Amino acid sequence: MVDKAQIKDKIDELLKKIKTLEDEFTEELQQRQKEFLYEIKEKKVRFEQEVLEQHRRLAKRLPGYLREASPWSILTAPMIYSIFTPALLLDFFASAYQAVCFPIYGIPKVKRGDYIVIDRHFLRYLNIIEKINCVYCGYFNGLVGYLREIAARTEQYWCPIKHARKTGAIHSRYSKFVEYGDAEAYHKRLMEIRKDYDDLTNS
């Protein structure tokens, strides 16, 4: 017989380890700020003047950059950027969805700015094409994280059941779900899980 309490304790222990690693990672990033001589004030990155001058000198001129670029990179660029319009639509509809539905369900809203971070275009060692690419990548990857968190909180409310098969990645709410096939736990704990967002409201 599977000891559910032991499994839960093990999962809680693993989650604590993940949180500790995340905190260590954040600390390491803060150390990097000192190493590369920048600081963040009011969400703006500020480099020391000497570093800015060095960055300007290192920026690649457009003609040289385009000469070095692979022809395939240039030819496939329109396909990459063709996803931009669907991405904007996804962003709009997902934001509208959570704005309307999450208050009704009692789910805390996902803060868009926590996921979509666009700041690399301020780096002066990037040319205009590199800056545009960095803005696009920052937006698109941030959007994916933002959408994933909206979907995760929705899944916690409507279908908090773990999968039978191993998934490629698990989202932030997955540990709260009941085990696959545990009908008793599902019916007993569904309403409790639907309200279990204390870790978000207290963070």
Spatial CA neighbour of 163 closest among 182, 150, 188? 182
Residue 43 pLDDT level (bands cut at 50, 70, 90):
low
Least confident of 23-27, 55-59, 97-101, 178-182: 55-59
Q: What is the pLDDT of residues 79-94, one digit of tens each?
A: 999 999 999 999 999 9
Q: Which H helix or E strand runs over 191?
A: helix 183-194
Please tell me the least confidently modeled range out of 58-62, 65-69, 111-115: 58-62
Q: What is the dihedral of CA 7, 10, 14, 15, to 10 degrees?
A: 60
**Are 46 and 40 within 8 A, CB to CB?**
yes
Q: Whole-prediction pTM value?
A: 0.79
Domain boundaries, the chain: 36-201
